[in-house]
Structure 1
Amino acid sequence: MNVKVFRTKEVQDLLKAAVNIDDLSGNPRLKEILNRLLGDLFKAIDDLDITPDEVWVGVNYLNKLGQDGEAALLAAGLGLEKYLDIRMDAEDREIGIDGCTPRTIEGPLYVAGAPLRDGVSKIDINADTDAGPLVIHGTVTGPSGEPVAGAVVECWHANSKGFYSHFDPTGAQSEFNLRGAARTGADGKYEFRTLMPVGYGCPPHGATQQLLNELARHGNRPAHVHFFVTSAHHRKLTTQFNIEGDPLIWDDFAYATREELIPQVVEKTGGAALGLKAETYKDIEFNFVLTPLVQGKDNQLVHRLRASAAA
């Protein structure tokens, strides 16, 4: 039978001292959060009779997670990033914001600084014999259906091997391959000319997959394309769509799939005239509906550390 010490004065004094809770200097918000998280951890050790060996397994795992640079990947895989979206969705419902393009997770592989072009952006820099041509296009509108001029649509996705430029372990991709940005004109339209992506899996020997293995879970995502959409008079939209027909659409280890984010894939001809690699190509129309600022501010803008590079 495990002992219970969490409620003792000794442990409560230790918790207060660890976060320096009674000192008015320092960061009060950080103290509040850390006090709660550390207290929950201490209590879990009591309640679950977590052994010292198990604690140090966890500490060593955190070391590996940092060494592998996979903390953001694990946040997606354990549903933390999805949970933040659920909270933001609930906040929108409370203040009556609806009818917009659904948000979904950003993921860990965005890189700021991609080339910005007006209207149309061709983003397949590197040849890829295993990927057919793809055109993604649509209109950015406001909540009343009016076209949004000057909106910036950023796009990024994987190649046919499931790797993203700037993060490709093979080193085969140029900077900003399959990454770009398009600025809408008065009609609100944007277009990306690119190649069909595939899904990806977590690095097989990385910390994230190591934990998922212990949970008997896979670490794979369906084929998808990421977007940021920004406009001076609307809230930033973070979203992505899945490629129709992918068998993992409803088995995404990162929980990013939403019913409204699975657009139809249409086969078309005329690719040569568009500068594509083949006459026949896949076409996806995906329209964005932005939401208004709340009292003049983007109340759900997410600040996080992101990679950047110069185009």
Structure 2
Amino acid sequence: MEHSTIDQMVKKWIVDAADRPANPRIQEITVRLVADLCKAIEDLDISQTEFWKGMEFLQEAGKRHELGLIVPGLGLERFLDDRADEADAKAGITGGTQRCIEGPLYVAGAPESVGFARMDDGTEVDKTEPMFIQGTVYGEDGKPIANAKVEAWHANTLGSYSYFDKTQSPFNLRRTIFTDSDGRFTFQSIMPNGYGCPPDGSTQAWLDQLGRHGNRPAHVHFFVTAPGHRKLTTQFNMEGDEYLWTDFAFANHESLVPPIKRISDPAEMAKRGVNKPFALIDFDFHVVKEKAAAPTGDVDRIRAAA
């Protein structure tokens, strides 16, 4: 079937068949997606069995709440970030910390503090090394921003996240810090592990068919917000991780791999209140001002809240 014929058919189904006021934007997107899908079915000679098996797969993935994994696993979330970077550049927005995908595991409502927060509940202190993340939030003018909001979340030593993993205490490894008067923040936590997609799940089943692993390197997620500035969504990956440059979610950027200092000096350990060597990561955030002509840095999507 010719593509032009498909376009006419889809217009008839979606546009001409409308018998009441339609949402123009939803109608436009639907026409494009349905037409492109029909063209793919035609061009690739997708059988009815293949089509319905695909629908069954998506239905099962939805039941398993894995669409949030499939989207980054296929590169779609990275693509959305790349488009946002391109839009920022066209609007003259430059110089901020590199954005990076949010992923599906944020939970709203983490405990708040000023300047310092301990993220872990102490249950895994014997399984890994302590970790401190410290830095400053800067504005476009290079000056520190006091009272900026820095939200952080990461996995435990098993690669699991609290709230979704009911064996963990509420808000374990999730905290919100408002920067001090000098724009500084410090998170005390434990070194996380990366995670893999559920081996019996929908995402890994698709990745297996594509000849790909489903692993992420160890990483820490952040939201950074400040009045008059664009929201920053980012994360950094741990240097040296075996999946650092083969992240299944494509969330790897050279600027988001900070060096890790291993501190074993007894005086520094005592100063930090830990009894064994610890990892220290210095990481500053640079946020940019809101600009009317630019797309918003905030993304409206359903997120978990405890």
Q: What is the TM-score with the length of structure 1 in the denominator?
A: 0.92
Separation in 2, partners of 1:62, 1:230: 35
Q: The residue matched to 2:141 in structure 1 has which SS?
A: coil
From 234, 240, 253, the counterpart of 1:239: 234
Separation in 2, partners of 1:140, 1:21: 53
Separation in 1, partners of 2:131, 2:293: 37
Q: Which runs of 5+ in 2 are unaligned?
A: none
Q: Deviations over 1:6-29 (max 9, x none)?
A: 5448x8345532466654613221
Partner residue, 1:68: 64
From 121, 141, 146, the counterpart of 1:144: 141
- Cα displacement (A) at 1:150: 1.1
Q: The residue matched to 1:62 in structure 2 has which SS?
A: helix
2:304 is the counterpart of 1:307: yes
Q: Deviations over 1:20-73 (max 9, x none)?
A: 665461322111101100110011111111110110111101111101101111
Retained in 2: the 8 A contact 1:21–1:31?
Answer: no
Q: What is the TM-score with the length of structure 2 in the denominator?
A: 0.94
Partner residue, 2:163: 166
Partner residue, 1:275: 273
Q: Which runs of 5+ in 1 are unaligned?
A: none
2:101 is the counterpart of 1:105: yes
Structure 1 pair 24–232 and aligned structure 2 pair: CA distance change class (3 A): farther
Partner residue, 1:219: 214
Superposition map of 1:62-211 within 5 A: 62-128=58-124, 129-168=126-165, 171-211=166-206
Separation in 2, partners of 1:59, 1:196: 40
Q: The residue matched to 1:193 in structure 2 has which SS?
A: strand
Retained in 1: the 8 A contact 2:150–2:222?
Answer: yes
**Corresponding pairs, count:** 302
Q: The residue matched to 2:300 in structure 1 has which SS?
A: coil
Retained in 2: the 8 A contact 1:137–1:285?
Answer: yes
Structure 1 pair 307–21 and aligned structure 2 pair: CA distance change class (3 A): farther
Q: Deviations over 1:165-205 (max 9, x none)?
A: 1112xx32111000001001221001100000011000111
Q: Deviations over 1:263-288 (max 9, x none)?
A: 01001243344333x33211000000
Separation in 1, partners of 2:259, 2:9: 59
Identity %: 48
Retained in 2: the 8 A contact 1:126–1:173?
Answer: no
